[in-house]
Amino acid sequence: MQQHPAYKTPFLVLTLVLILCFIINISLGSVLIPLKSIFGIVTGQVPENTSWEFIVINYRLPKALTAIIVGSGLGISGLLMQTLFKNPLAGPFVLGITSGASLGVAIAIMGASFFGGVMAGVLISKWSIVIAASLGSFLVLLTVLIVSNKVRDTMALLIIGLMFGSITAAIISVLTYFSTAEELQQFVFWRFGSLGNLSWQELVIFSIIYCIGLLLSLASIKALNTLLLGDNYAKSLGLNLKKTRLTIIIATSLLAGTITAFAGPIAFIGLAIPHITRQIFTTSNHKILLPAVFLLGSIIMLICDTIAQLPGLEYFLPINAITCLVGAPVVIWLLVRKRKMVF
């Protein structure tokens, strides 16, 4: 597969758009800070207003970086899943990653009343939600992996993932039924998703795991291209199917699992970004798709976050709603305009 020179321009444009979106994202917010001061703060000059510096360094900058990690990570894991399952409907969450994370968080928040008053305080801290989400998605994924070793068909694996999703959803509704209004509210807030709650320390851990997932995805590029021919052809080309499948699933769960743990179950991005990318780049070559998904995922997430924080106002909207409101019409428009689905 050749690197086509025709793709250089869109890559250049997207990179510029990403930088632009990043700047717009950190310069807008509930407090108006002039663009000049923002540049000054980011480049490390002495700021004229320390509260501005605090807002930019400790709130807006980590939030923008989180948006990039979340958008690109979910997009890439969506791409991996769609190729692995040869199914345009697959997303990072088909393996039960979100449902597992939701179950973990639901038990941590709403199960508190079951575990008694002493535990309640411990269970609802920030880190406990992250740990519960990671643990939940890891456990569900582990179960899916064990089952996947017994089935040879990737399509069966897809359905098994969806079934696990249904089971966890059912358990969550039972928990919801028995929980207090306060617990329920906290759980609903987690479900809205949030990019802005991360400290630098958390961001470091977040990005390390993200980078491991990203490296595994990069290492799978050749295998992903081979998988385009179908499992049997891939095997005849010397591909170790079991190893490839495992690598891709681990990469996805690292990416989508940590993102869900830190930022909540962010819908839509994972499914839609690969489709938007394919419409723009009209290729199936992962050497082009993967970096393109990275750029587009980051851009769209930054735009969604900019809209969600309602510049100049004190309110902010749940990011999960915005991703769908902004993203879904884009995908519909692209499909209608081109009249053809590229997969």
Partner 1 sequence: MAEHNEHIILKTENLSVGYKTKKDQVCVAKNINIQLEKGQLIGLVGANGIGKSTLLKTLTKNIPALNGSIFIENKNLNKCSNLELSKLLSVVLTEPLVAKNLSVFELITLGRQPYTNWIGNLTEQDLKTVNHAIQIINIEELKHKKCFELSDGQLQKVMIARALAQDTSLIILDEPTTHLDMYHKAYILKLLQKLATTTNKTILFSSHEIDLAIQLCDKMIVMNTNEINFDSPCNLIEQGVFNTLFPDDLITFDEITGSFKVKK
Chain residues in the site for partner 1 (CB under 8 A): 1-2, 86, 218-219, 221-222, 225-230, 232-233, 235-240, 278, 282-285, 287, 342-343
**Residue 314, φ and ψ in degrees, nearest 5:** -85, -15
Rank residues 228 and 317 by Cβ distance to partner 1 and give the closer one.
228
Q: Least separation, in Å, of the C-beta of 284 and partner 1? A: 5
What's the min distance (Å) between Cβ of 300 and partner 1?
22
Q: Tell which phi-psi region holds residue 180, choosing left (phi > 0), alpha (psi between -120 and 50) or beta.
A: beta
> Alpha-carbon distance 74 to 255, whole Å?
7
**Residue 302 near residue 64 (C-beta atoms within 8 A):** yes
For CA atoms 37, 40, 44, 45, give the dihedral sign.
negative
Q: Which is nearer to partner 1, 7 or 316 (CB)?
A: 7
Instruction: Tell me how far, at minimum, the Cβ of 297 lies from partner 1, in Å.
Output: 20
Query: Based on CB atoms, which residue is closest to partner 1, 6 or 146?
Result: 6
- Output 66 or 226, the one with its CB closest to partner 1: 226
204 vs 237, which CB is nearer to partner 1?
237
Which helix (DSSP H) or strand (DSSP E) does residue 135 occupy?
Answer: helix 126-150
Write the DSSP string, 251-293: HHHHHHHHHHHHH----SHHHHHHHHHHHHH----HHHHHHHH
Residues 10, 280 contacting (CB under 8 angstroms):
yes
CB of 254 to partner 1, least distance (A): 20
Q: In sequence order, which residues have a C-beta less than 8 Å from that of residue 65 and are 6 or more positions away? A: 203, 207
Nearer to partner 1, 42 or 241 (CB): 241
In the complex, minimum distance from the CB of residue 221 to partner 1, in angstroms, rounded to a whole number = 6
Return the number of the residue (179 or 279) whose C-beta is nearest partner 1.
279
Q: What are phi and psi of 313, to 5 degrees?
A: -105, 165
**Cβ 143 to partner 1 shortest distance, Å:** 23
* Region of residue 4 (left: phi > 0; alpha: psi -120 to 50; beta: else): beta
Instruction: Tell the smallest beta-carbon distance from residue 76 to partner 1 (Å).
Output: 16
Task: Please say whether the beta carbons of 171 and 100 come within 8 A.
Answer: no
| Cα(109)–Cα(123) distance, integer angstroms | 7
